[in-house]
Amino acid sequence: MSWRWALARRVAKLAATDGGGGAQAQRLLPTSSAAAGTGLLGRLHMPLASQIRSKVVGCRGAALVSSRWLHDAQYQVRQDGASRAQEQQDPFELVADELSLLANRLRSMVAAELHLQVPKLASAAEYFFKVGAEGKRFRPTVLLLMASALKFPLSESTEGGVLSILADKLRTRQQNIAEITEMIHVASLLHDDVLDDADTRRGVSSLNLIMGNKLSVLAGDFLLSRACVALAALGNTEVVSLMATAVEHLVTGETMQISTSREQRRSMEYYLQKTYYKTASLISNSCKAVAILAGHTAEVSMLAYEYGRNLGLAFQLIDDVLDFTGTSASLGKGSLSDIRHGIITAPMLYAIEEFPQLQEVVDRGFDNPANIEIALDYLRKSRGIERTKELAREHADRAVKAIESLPDSDDEDVLTSRRALIDITERVITRTK
């Protein structure tokens, strides 16, 4: 749960540094500093990423072509520029430019729609789509990589032919799924942070500090309604169903969190169900949607779903661990925000299994910091952290297995993306923040 608070804090700090996206684009295109078009690449001439972006954000037709061209271009750089040694490519880098494209589209959509009537809201909503911290790009990255990993083989000679145009269209639609997912995610963050008057003394969300309840609710509503419009435009019943289910799950998960009874607090099963709803459902259903848009079979779509689900669960479990350990390996150095908000997570639940006395401590609540210390003590003595990590590893392995079970492909792009998806599971497990 702590990454959500972290996100809120980051947003509150208003990363004014817009350099994030630009820098990444620069790294992607090493020749951009040199005269555009010459250099390592030979076959393709590549203008600056910014030129691509400005060309693309305007015209829809250009967007269709450029998105795929851009996407292919990214891979070209990989093939030609990568050293022969097994260079572990940063999976986020693989789709960095495409992501910037998405982010810009989202921002301009928000700005254009809202600016007409509501400048205040436009600037508020912009925070979320600003090119910036990595955490915010997690979902779209996974979805874009999944889209690439599921590409049907296209013969190179049909470049510019009908099939190529269809592939462009598909890519754009899959990008739309990524945008919709991000909109839903941000909307849920905004709505989750709506405070009841009783909550203000416990720990004020920084999102609300900036905007106040009203604007939070409205901004969330705005994003949800735009997501509805975008979903309607896709014209695919099954996909819309999936995303609607995802939203329902988000709402259900949040409701589970605020209305947890005492018995439910002790239950690992309840906790995992809630975690699935709150974190994994969105990414898993979007992955499945990406597969369905591509026209894959039910089996393949389920594999995509399984990947998303296990990845999401692994992510959340490690997040729970990090809330206790922070960047150090030792306990208690983390932000401890979950426990301070009375949210009992996996490590604690495991510890309670080993030490039933801990249940009483938990039931007393954690308004008293001394109580937190006692609980941490028990946690240290128990294998709670280790078992949580083991569970996370289990889910990560299942995610990898799902990717490995995908239908074989010879396409370089596809293989690179699949490797990247596997790489992401590793990063999720081993990250320290």
By CB under 8 A, tell whether 410 contacts another protein: no
**Per-residue binder mask for another protein (CB under 8 A), 238-257, x = binder:** --xx--xx-xx--xx-xxx-
Can you give 295-343 as a three-state secondary structure string?
CCCHHHHHHHHHHHHHHHHHHHHHHHHHHHHCCCCCCCCCCCHHHHCCC
Nearest distance, CB of residue 211 and another protein, angstroms: 11
Which one of the spans 36-44, 52-60, 115-123, 297-305 is the region binding another protein (CB under 8 A)? 115-123
The Cα 352–Cα 359 span in angstroms is 6
| Total binding residues toward another protein, as defined by CB under 8 A | 45
Where does this chain touch another protein (CB under 8 A) — which range of 74-82, 87-95, 113-121, 381-389?
Answer: 113-121
Residues 6+ away with beta carbon under 8 Å from 275 = 253, 313, 316, 317
- Cα angle at 115 between 109 and 121, to 5 degrees? 90
Cα–Cα–Cα angle for 169, 235, 286, nearest 5°? 75
State which residue, 286 or 425, has the beta carbon closest to another protein. Answer: 286
Work out whether 221 is an interface residue with another protein (CB under 8 A).
Answer: yes
Q: Which stretch binds another protein (CB under 8 A): 48-56, 187-195, 285-293, 303-311?
A: 187-195
CA 322 – CA 431 distance, rounded (Å):
9
Stretch that binds another protein, among 117-125, 305-313, 348-356, 367-375 (CB under 8 A): 117-125
Q: Residues with Cβ < 8 Å from 22, sequence gap 6 or more? A: 49, 50, 131
Q: Which residue, 24 or 257, is less far from another protein as judged by CB?
A: 257
Q: How long, in residues, is the chain?
A: 433
CB of 255 to another protein, least distance (A): 5
Residues of span 197-216 touching another protein by CB under 8 A: 197-199, 213-215
Rounded Cα distance between 253 and 249, Å, is 6
Q: Which stretch binds another protein (CB under 8 A): 146-154, 189-197, 303-311, 416-424?
A: 189-197
Closest distance between another protein and the C-beta of residue 257, in Å?
10
Helix axes 281-293, 298-325, angle to 10 degrees: 150
Handedness of CA 169, 171, 172, 178 (dihedral sign): positive
Q: Is 187 left (phi over 0), alpha (psi -120 to 50) or beta?
A: alpha
Q: Is 111 in the site for another protein (CB under 8 A)?
A: no
Shortest distance, position 428 Cβ to another protein, whole Å: 27
Point out which span in 33-41, 76-84, 168-176, 237-245 binds another protein (CB under 8 A). 237-245
Q: What residues line the site for another protein (CB under 8 A)? A: 114, 117-121, 191-192, 194-199, 213-215, 217-218, 220-222, 224-226, 228-229, 231-233, 235, 237, 240-241, 244-245, 247-248, 251-252, 254-256, 258-259
